[in-house]
Chains A and B, each alone.
Chain A
Amino acid sequence: MIAAFIQSPVFRLLPVGVILLALQNTLFVDLQPAGVIVQVLLALAAAAGAAGGADRGALAGFVLGLIYDLGTDSPIGATALTMALGGVVAGIAWTIMVDPPWWLAAVFTTIGAAAGELAVPVLRIFIGEAEAFEPRFTRVVIVVAIAAGALSPLFVPLSRWCLRIRKPDWKALAE
């Protein structure tokens, strides 16, 4: 069972997620382009979707979201759900092309991150918050999405490593 866990995609994702959460809570809380906190874990989830398809994006989003929920005050499952959605949306890239080039992966990471961030207030409304949409929310979504796209050249290879997406696999799927 332990061997299976070590071989599973989650095994590498956990330490990477924890390190990214530590950076999210320290570095990225301060680095705020246009007054918006860049969501690195969401960016990684979306990059995983763009790199490995919707199912891997959902898995990465779920695991990273759980790490995020445990490390912050958000309800457990809330961020897992929104990040998983972000990963699924980014995975649409695979319907166009398996093994997308870096720029296409960046585009879909951007779209996935935007979807994930957009899902946050929608979910808040479902769980009973009256005014979940901030007046500056459009700016928040745009900045978070663009930042995720900018980070994708780094995060797409990182997510491939985390989820053990090997090159022959993508070629095999493409063929």
Chain B
Amino acid sequence: MGIYSPVRRRLIIALLLSSVLLLTLDLRGNQIFDTMRNGFQQAMDPLESAAEVVSRPIRNAWRGITQYDDLADENEDLRRQLEAQRADQITYRAAVIEFQALLELNNLPSLSDYDAVTARVIGETPNNLDQIIEIDKGEDDGIDVGMAVVSEGGLVGKVTRVFDDRSFIMLVRDQRFAVRAKVPGAAPEEPEGPEPPPTSANAIPNDDLTTTTTLPPSTTTTVPGATSSTAPGGIPGSSTSTTSTTSTTIAATTTTTIPPTEKETGTVVGQGRGEPILLRFVRENIDAGRFEVGDAVMTEGGEGSLSPPDIPIGTISRIRRQSGSAGPMIEVQLGADLERLSFVRIVLYQSLEEAAGDGG
């Protein structure tokens, strides 16, 4: 064992202790280290650009070998989905406009009220534990630690470190990521036992559950020579010609039961690359039974949350019920594609608590 002389041992111990010392200093927050890191990363930029160019053919060849089949299948899938979603998009767009109008009417904040900065993704953390990306915008553009980051598909992550002209974003799938989330408008579970009271014009109205819509007492339509009739679900405007003049009178007072649009809240947490995102800490009661695969999951917002409300996170993809009081384990399929992020938007939103902290 002559190889390990005391001098060599001391060197090894000194290096390990130096690492621990540096780590301690950095974790306590050290301006010098931040400056050094920023300077080093700026110095690395041209080198990384060169490496990017040099390695591109190798990366393309690798992708060609490993991802060709996946890409072909995915392309086929996407075509099908696109076709199916064209129709949905029109419906949803109308609903969103209506929703925005309602929020505005009630003076409630909506996502479009917040300014956002668009940034390009310029890097990704090269280790296997952290799920962090780097963007080309920073403090100069108003970005601050904690701000939510979104893409067209929904929530992507949050800002964890900011320099003047660059920032680091922790992705939703990182194990350290957590955000309060809600499942809005979960469908009510059918109660067992006696039949629910009938819902009709004669039903006794319940203020909590029903709304009464009264149409104008009568509507008279007189179309000389033609009657325009639209069957339920038919295309508006299709008509049948008759030779008479008809009058249609609608006089109705209808009572419609609207399902209670309750929301369930929990915390969305990441589990690392390739692992599902989880919605945890959902309260354990009969309501949890109402979750269904495909339900939307959105940020909850609120005073304490770093994220504004109603940013789509994804949809429920699997529900695992557990024994005990742990509550159901809900897997969430993210709306955003974290593997193909080129541009992201940083929502310039600060929670009231955060803003108050900055102010004083």
Contacts and interface: CB of A to CB of B under 8 A. Distances in A.
Interface of A: 18-19, 21-31, 35-37, 39, 53-55, 58-59, 61-62, 65-66, 68-81, 84-85, 88, 94-95, 98, 117, 120-121, 124, 127, 129, 131-132, 134-136, 140, 144, 173
Given A95-B3, A144-B128, A77 B59 contact: no
Contact of B128 (A55, A78, A140): A140
A73 B23 CA distance: 13
Given A54-B12, A84-B19, A173-B3, A131 B175 contact: yes
Interface in B29-51: 33, 36-37, 40-41, 44, 47-48, 50-51
Given A58-B15, A81-B16, A132-B129, A25 B274 contact: no
A144 to B, nearest CB: 7
B273 A62 contact: no
B271 interface: yes
B4 to A, nearest CB: 7
Interface in B165-199: 168, 175-176
A88 to B, nearest CB: 6
B128 A36 contact: yes
22 contacts: A19-B47, A26-B51, A26-B52, A26-B55, A27-B51, A27-B55, A27-B59, A39-B126, A53-B3, A61-B15, A69-B37, A70-B41, A71-B40, A73-B130, A73-B161, A76-B33, A77-B21, A77-B23, A117-B128, A120-B127, A132-B129, A136-B273
B272 interface: yes
B63 A73 contact: no
B8 interface: yes
Contacts of A37: 126-128
B127 A81 contact: no
B19 A62 contact: yes
Given A19-B47, A22-B48, 7 more contacts: A21-B44, A23-B51, A26-B59, A77-B20, A77-B26, A80-B18, A81-B23
Count class of interface residues, chain B: 35 or more
Contacts of B127: 37, 39, 72, 74, 79, 120
Contacts of A76: 22-23, 25-26, 33, 36-37
Interface of B: 1, 3-4, 8-9, 11-12, 15-16, 18-27, 33, 36-37, 40-41, 44, 47-48, 50-52, 55, 58-59, 62-63, 123-130, 132, 134, 160-161, 168, 175-176, 271-275
Contact of A81 (B20, B25, B160): B20
Most buried by B among A26, A71, A88: A26
Contacts of B129: 120-121, 124, 132, 134
A88 B12 contact: yes
A99 to B, nearest CB: 12
B56 to A, nearest CB: 9
Given A26-B52, A58-B15, A70 B36 contact: yes
A18 to B, nearest CB: 7
A77 B22 CA distance: 5
Given A71-B41, A73-B161, A120-B129, A29 B273 contact: no
Contacts of B123: 25
Given A35-B273, A37-B127, A58-B12, A18 B47 contact: yes
A149 B22 CA distance: 29
Contacts of B47: 18-19, 22
B19 A65 contact: yes
A74 B16 contact: no
**Which of B12, B44, B63, B273 has the most C-beta atoms of chain A within 10 angstroms of its own C-beta?**
B12
Contacts of B37: 69-70, 76
